[in-house]
Structure 1
């Protein structure tokens, strides 16, 4: 039987290839100059300020980012199109603050501005258009801005030649002579399949662009690269297509409509996963983590509850060895990693030892170790250890 090696990657993985950070994506939405008020002030900045003020009142550890802004927009869309009037007694947002009349008036000024629909703010010429919904258009526009940033780094450039080679060595070492690589990403790009020498199955039929559910379920021993949170190669019904003219009706747990999207972002991730074809990838990841011999977690923030639940379940079984690669301080690492630690001491990394060769790792956990000086340093040390 082949060794099952699972790789899970988050946003921090692709930073070495020039990918935008969460802060940069947030700034792009804050500074957008298309959705503005009569004074030329961006609505992205205004929404960010509202969230930041509320988080400050609650002394929240996190600051607003592009995902919380998108979630805010989705809630505004839902309540603006509801049959209820928008009032301070009715409207609540994710951080439990009320929209008072002053905020409502300011939002209405933004909503009253005419938008040029010819502007490059959407996913193509054939997508569903709902002009009556200001926040629908705003949501699609902001996700389109993210798409354009993804496309910038998804193009493999010559300057990353050595990094690509190093990452390929890592993939082949993970695969070994008798193994498979089950690659799951929370990112929206296709960078890894482009630079890898391995032939990954991405879950879709090459001819039709439709998801091949049968192969995902049955072909359990192939190298795969699955997008847990979707990608910009998809349309609004989960096909690899540029036709955005149709979409599924997506709902959250209280049966409010969600804005159609080919990526899963914001705070409705569990609902979107259950409503979308992406559920097949999530379900397969749960199975792979349980069966895994080795698990590599790279650049992941440990902030997604559904992913953490799958990891915690695998750790309870206790058969896999885990390697975490990140770029953060010891304090931040423990805040993140402790979210998946339950009662199995084999994975406890409470005490890490700093080594003189610039990376950090644990020597105490029997089945877990961490490298906290970034992916580049991890790959360099991997090469040196094999020479």
Structure 2
């Protein structure tokens, strides 16, 4: 009797970030374009200092960080749509806490001290913008209380982001996504050989349109927390920072995945408190830089736990378009003792039809610096990278492909991943 051969699958954990869709074959939404759209977004004709709310906040942030705000070339790694969102979160937390503090009896003020956890830099900026927000509040609803206006602007910004991404998520003729699914996942990472654990820091759920990977929810949109915790050998696609289709009220029993994006701008919900007892505005996505404040809620915590377990157990880690800017994610990545492949898009664009003076943008040096810090990797000089279109650390454990995801990456996958 012939014994049936048992194939032991390898486990690969794939993490995608904002740069996943940066190459030409993807119909993606880039950080710079989303930032520009928030700057010009009209919200009930509200102006701050004579400017649209997004433009006003953008300029104040640029000035605060010593950047020039009048040109589109301002560094989006310092001020972008997430910075704008984060500032509104901090301003809301500070102003709503202060309002509660001012309204309570003197005997209650010690225990209701509102300033814990508020970052000094944003406290300073809060004082700068307070007068303009107060005037806008009075013009809009004849009240001088600031935080309801901040909440409304915040909701409109989140609403715009989710609906902007919905159009991209609904595009089933996305050449880059189809190639990633049909060529890379089906051929290079076959189901018979790999358990494919995919996590994304983006807010879409495009993969369910091409593959039946488990996303944490059943057909009725209910979260299946027990499966997320217990089944770490299924093919999955989890949103670490939320999804445009989630309808969440910061209540584990009421998180659902819907078929359509909700009208978030029209929702009116009371805030909840974060890790430092700071008020948080409910949202289906974690944007801004206050991500850890929201990570304690379901389903974020479910996916974060699964991600940690997969990092430890995986035979191979692949990051695509992730800039290594989230400390909580980097801390988990550092737990891996196996091969790390980072795929990013660092090719310098030609100017006036001429080849670029440098083959890379400055971002590649920052990325290599982050990889060195996280994985204690030492990289050779630039010439080594130019010979192969990718480079690896001297110990061979960390590999960096710098031309972005696409056919060239897939063609070289066998060599890169060895």
TM-score, scaled relative to structure 2? 0.76
Change (3 A) 1:231 1:94: farther
CA distance in structure 1 between the partners assigned to 2:365 and 2:180 by the alignment? 28
Q: Distance in 1 between matches of 2:379 and 2:366?
A: 11
1:322 maps to which residue?
A: 340
What is the distance in 1 between the residues matched to 2:122 and 2:381?
37
Larger gyration radius, structure 1 or structure 2: 2
The equivalences for 1:86-235 within 5 A come to 95-96=121-122, 98-99=124-125, 103-114=129-140, 133-158=148-173, 160-161=174-175, 164-172=178-186, 173-175=188-190, 177-195=192-210, 198-207=211-220, 209-235=221-247
Displacement of 1:355 after TM fit?
3.8
Residue 348 (str. 1) matches residue 378 (str. 2): yes
Distance 2:43 2:310 in 1: 44
Q: Distance in 2 between matches of 1:273 and 1:336?
A: 25
8 Å Cα contact 1:154-1:191 kept in structure 2: yes
Structure 2 residue aligned with 1:381:
411
Shift of 1:32: 1.0
Pair 101,174 (structure 1): closer, same or farther in 2 beyond 3 Å: closer
Q: Give 1:278-357 correspondences, 5 Å limit.
A: 278-314=300-336, 318=337, 320-328=338-346, 329=360, 331-342=362-373, 347-352=377-382, 353-355=384-386
Q: Tell me how far apart the structure 2 counterparts of residues 103 and 246 of structure 1 sit (CA, whole Å).
A: 24
Q: 1:218 to 1:376 in 2, by over 3 A?
A: same
Q: Is the 8 A contact 1:5 1:179 kept in 2?
A: yes
After the TM superposition, which segments of 4 or more aligned residues of structure 1 sit over 4 Å from their partners?
90-94, 99-102, 242-249, 342-345, 383-386
103 and 344 in structure 1: CA distance in 2 versus 1, 3 angstrom threshold: closer
Over 3 Å counting, the alpha-carbon distance change for 1:178 and 1:384 in structure 2 is closer
Could you list the runs of 5+ residues in structure 2 that have no partner in the other structure?
1-7, 68-74, 104-114, 250-254, 347-359
CA distance 1:167–1:349, shift in 2 (3 Å): farther
Q: Identify the residue that residue 367 of structure 1 maps to in structure 2.
A: 397
Q: In the alignment, is the contact (CA less than 8 A) between 2:93 and 2:278 conserved in 1? A: yes
**How many Å separate the matches in 1 of 2:147 and 2:361?**
49
How many pairs were matched up? Answer: 357
Between 37-46 and 210-219, the greater mean CA deviation after superposition: 37-46
Classify 1:102/1:351 alpha carbon distance in 2 versus 1 (closer, same or farther; 3 Å). closer
Between 135-144 and 245-254, report the one with greater CA deviation.
Answer: 245-254
Matches of 1:368 and 1:38, distance apart in 2 = 47
User: How much has 1:214 moved relative to structure 2?
Assistant: 0.8
Residue equivalent to 1:118: none
TM-score (norm 1): 0.81
* Structure 1 partner of 2:36: 27
Contact 1:43 1:110 in 2 (8 A): no
